[in-house]
Structure formats: structure tokens, C-alpha cells
């Protein structure tokens, strides 16, 4: 028996729509098996993971709060991946954005600086993220160094820089030696949308970015160039599109969005700079980008779904003592299934039972 792939005459649009759903279904089946292995009731575990967070207002807000950075980063990454540029260092760009914006918050702390502080912080975060992402992009374009490896290495560097700052120069003098800055002033904090809630302005910014990306990809020449360079590099060369310039552009945009997500996270839900501000948003966003089929609206839905697994994972840990790592396993398996189902768009799977053909040997 042998599995054979047959190329379809053209992309299957039906499968393109249902493949993420098939992938989620397969993931849930696999997770149920994992829950049984862990000695938990799979039905109640799945309810805690996927249904319970949808039933109370606090969790719903929390899903939006967690989805915000995921979607924002994934939108940027999708541009890179569409152009066949592999930025996998969004986690580092997120941290650098957080650090750069926090610099202003720390410097203006206790002064009578006005409402301009927050917009300036967001700008700083985005610019710093873009510049940080341009390092691997320039290494790629100018010297041909693999952007995959360089962008990833810079994640560790960003992590160590943040660690140094909050343990050294920026540490809160009144913080009992904890590695954290002081709480940001109100003018350096992202405003809350609903009184007493957790939902903040970042969610609105995220929606605006989703809309902007949809317009960019669907309605502009730049968006068209990005898609052509990725899908048909030869055609793009004949068309006179500058692939190198697009690598720089997509990296800069994705870095800016990751950096913006970073400073919003710090100035919003967290409220101060400390190590561990990201539960791996930069990496989970890669899954979000693929699950959303590199499409802005798809990414919005995928981001909400993965945010749900973060919240569900936390609740499952509290309610059923299911380890938090299960969420990571879940995310990894989900990405595998998404990619496998995507293969169905281009190929037809056929099981061949016939005996093997006689191979022609060394001709």
C-alpha cells in the first residue's frame, strides 16, 4: 500500500475553505487521545478548553486581549510569508518594541509629561521593531545570510537585553529587588475600553490593522507584487518587481507590527516592563498566520481561536491540573494538521494497493 500525491489541475477553492476546519477537527481528536493518556476525562477537558472560556464576560474580554497581539504579529508575518521571506524572529521584535517604548515610559516617570507620551511610546515601539527586523533582512539581501537563522538568533539577544535592563538600569527602586520597572504612569498606559474591564485600545488598533492589510493585499499594486514574488518568483522577475526591496519592506512592516504589539502589551495588560511579558506570542503568531491561510480576515479568526486555547489552557490547569505545556503541544499538532490539510488544496491523495512497478534500475 502506498500513498500517492496527484497534482490537481487547479487549486481547489472548496478545500481551501474547509481545510482549517478539518485540521481543527483532527487536532481535537488527537488532543482527546492525549487527555486520555494523561488520565483526564477528554470530554470535560475539551469543554474546559473550548467552551467554558466562551461563557463568561471576563474570559471573553481576555480572549480579545490575548488575540490582539497574536493577530497584529501574524498580519505582519503573513506579508513576509506571502513574499517567501521567512521572518521567524517576531518574538524578538515584539520584545525590542516593548523595550523601546518602555524607555520613554521610564524616562518620563513622575514628570508632568502630557498625553503625548503614549502615542510617542507606540511610535517608538513600532520603529524599533522595524529596525530590529531589518537586521536579518539586510543580512539576507546584502550578504545572502539565511534570514531564518539570523532572525531567530536575535530573539535570544532581545530577551537578554530586556533581562539586563529590568535587572539593571531600569529596575524599580521600590520593587523589593524584583526584576521589573515601576508601574507606568497613567499617561503612559493604554486606555481601557470598558470601565473596570481588561479590553483596551489595542483591540481597536488590531482591527484597523486587519482592515489595512486586507486593502493592501486585495486592492493595491504593492500587495499584488508581494503575492507574485512569493508565488511565482520568475514571473515577478520578468514583471520587473524588485524581490529584494520587497523582502526589506515585508520584514520592516512585520517588525513594526510586532514591536507595536510588544509596547501595547507592556503599556496595556502588563503595565510595566518585566521578563516573561510574552507567552511566546511571536511563535504562536506563526501558527495563527498559517491557520488563517495568510489572509487578514482568516488571521483574525485564527487569532481568536488560538487566544481561546491560551485561556482554555490556563483554566484547564487550574480546574483539572492539566499541565500548561499541553497548550504548546496542541499548537504544534494544530500547525502540523493545518499544513497537511493545505497539501490537499494542491494535491489529491490516493492510496495505491497495486504491487510495485518494476523499477528500471540504473538506466
Partner 1 sequence: MELVEAIILSVLAASTPLLIAATGELVTERAGVLNLGVEGMMIVGAACGFGGAWLSGSTIIGALCGIIAGALLSLIFAMMTLGLAVNQVASGLALTILGIGLSGLIGAGFVGERITPAPHLHIPGLTDIPLIGRILFGEDPFIYLSLALIVAVWWFLYRTRPGLVLRACGDNHVSAHALGYPVLRIRTFAVMFGGACAGLAGAYLPLAYTPFFIPGMTAGRGWIALALVVFASWLPGRLVIGAYLFGAVTILQLHAQGAGVGIPSQFMSALPYLATVIVLVLISRARTGGSTAPAALGTVFVPDR
* Choice between 35 and 184, CB closer to partner 1: 35
Residue 15 found at the interface with partner 1 (CB under 8 A): no
User: Nearest approach, Cβ of 205 to partner 1 (angstroms)?
Assistant: 27
Q: Which of 143, 176, 238, 353 binds partner 1 (CB under 8 A)?
A: 143
Is residue 294 packed enough to be buried (19+ CB in 10 Å), middle (13-18) or exposed (0-12)? buried
Name which position in 39, 110, 119, 144 contacts partner 1 (CB under 8 A): 144
300 contacts 137 by C-beta, under 8 angstroms: no
The answer to whether 100 contacts partner 1 (rule: CB under 8 A) is: no
What are the φ/ψ torsions at residue 126 (nearest 5 degrees)?
-65, -45
The answer to whether residue 152 forms part of the interface with partner 1 (CB under 8 A) is yes
How crowded is residue 57: how many other Cβ atoms within 10 Å of its Cβ? 9
Q: How many residues does the chain have?
A: 363
Question: What is the residue-wise DSSP string for 211-274?
Answer: HHHHHHHHH-HHHHHHHHHHH-HHHHHHTT--HHHHHHHHHHHHHHHHHHHHHHHIIIII-S--
Told to check if 146 binds partner 1 by CB under 8 A, we report: yes
Contacts with partner 1 in 324-363 (CB under 8 A)?
A: 324-333, 335-336, 339-340, 342-343, 346-347, 349, 359-363
Q: How far is the CB of 92 from partner 1 (least distance, A)?
A: 10
**Per-residue exposure over 30-48, b if at least 16 CB sit within 10 Å of its own CB, e if not:** bbbebbeeeebebeebbeb
- Please select the residue that binds partner 1; options are 28, 60, 113, 157, rule is CB under 8 A: 157
| Residue 133 touching partner 1 (CB under 8 A) | no
**In this structure, are residues 35 and 333 in contact, taking their beta carbons and an 8 Å threshold?**
no
| Minimum separation from the CB atom of position 247 to partner 1 (A) | 14
Residues at the contact surface with partner 1, assessed by CB under 8 A: 3-5, 7, 38, 86, 88, 135-136, 139, 143-146, 148-150, 152-154, 156-157, 160-161, 163-164, 167-168, 283, 286-287, 290, 323-333, 335-336, 339-340, 342-343, 346-347, 349, 359-363
Amino acid at each position: 500500500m502506498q500513498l500517492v500525491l496527484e497534482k490537481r489541475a487547479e487549486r481547489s477553492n472548496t478545500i481551501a475553505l474547509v481545510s482549517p476546519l478539518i485540521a481543527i477537527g483532527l487536532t481535537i481528536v488527537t488532543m482527546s487521545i492525549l487527555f486520555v493518556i494523561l488520565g483526564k476525562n477528554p470530554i470535560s477537558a475539551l469543554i474546559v478548553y473550548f467552551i467554558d472560556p466562551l461563557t463568561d464576560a471576563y474570559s471573553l474580554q481576555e480572549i480579545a486581549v490575548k488575540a490582539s497581539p497574536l493577530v497584529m504579529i501574524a498580519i505582519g508575518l503573513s506579508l513576509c510569508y506571502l513574499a517567501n521571506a521567512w521572518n521567524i524572529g517576531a518574538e524578538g521584535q515584539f520584545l525590542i518594541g516593548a523595550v523601546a517604548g518602555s524607555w520613554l515610559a521610564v524616562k518620563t516617570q513622575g514628570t508632568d509629561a502630557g498625553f503625548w507620551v503614549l502615542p510617542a511610546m507606540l511610535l517608538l515601539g513600532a520603529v524599533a521593531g522595524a529596525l530590529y527586523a531589518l537586521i536579518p533582512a539586510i543580512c539576507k539581501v546584502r550578504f545572502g545570510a539565511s534570514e531564518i537563522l539570523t532572525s531567530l538568533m536575535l530573539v535570544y539577544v532581545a530577551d537578554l537585553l530586556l533581562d539586563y535592563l529590568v535587572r539593571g538600569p531600569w529596575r524599580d527602586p521600590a520593587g523589593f529587588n524584583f526584576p521589573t520597572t515601576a508601574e507606568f504612569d497613567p499617561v503612559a498606559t493604554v486606555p481601557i475600553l470598558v470601565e473596570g474591564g481588561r479590553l483596551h485600545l489595542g483591540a481597536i488598533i488590531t482591527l484597523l490593522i486587519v482592515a489595512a492589510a486586507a486593502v493592501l493585499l486585495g486592492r493595491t499594486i504593492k500587495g499584488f507584487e508581494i503575492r507574485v514574488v512569493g508565488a511565482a518568483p520568475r514571473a515577478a522577475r520578468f514583471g520587473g518587481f524588485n524581490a529584494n526591496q520587497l523582502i526589506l519592506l515585508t520584514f520592516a512592516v512585520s517588525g513594526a507590527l510586532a514591536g507595536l504589539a510588544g509596547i501595547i502589551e507592556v503599556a496595556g495588560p502588563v503595565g510595566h516592563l518585566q521578563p516573561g511579558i510574552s507567552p511566546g506570542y511571536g511563535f504562536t503568531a506563526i501558527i495563527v498566520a498559517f491557520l488563517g491561510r495568510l489572509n487578514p480576515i482568516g488571521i483574525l479568526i485564527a487569532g481568536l481561536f488560538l487566544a481561546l486555547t491560551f485561556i482554555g489552557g490556563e483554566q484547564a490547569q487550574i480546574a483539572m491540573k492539566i499541565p500548561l505545556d499541553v497548550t504548546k503541544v496542541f499548537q504544534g499538532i494544530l500547525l502540523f494538521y493545518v499544513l497537511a490539510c493545505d497539501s490537499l488544496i494542491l494535491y489529491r491523495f490516493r492510496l495505491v494497493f497495486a504491487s510495485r512497478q518494476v523499477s528500471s534500475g540504473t538506466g
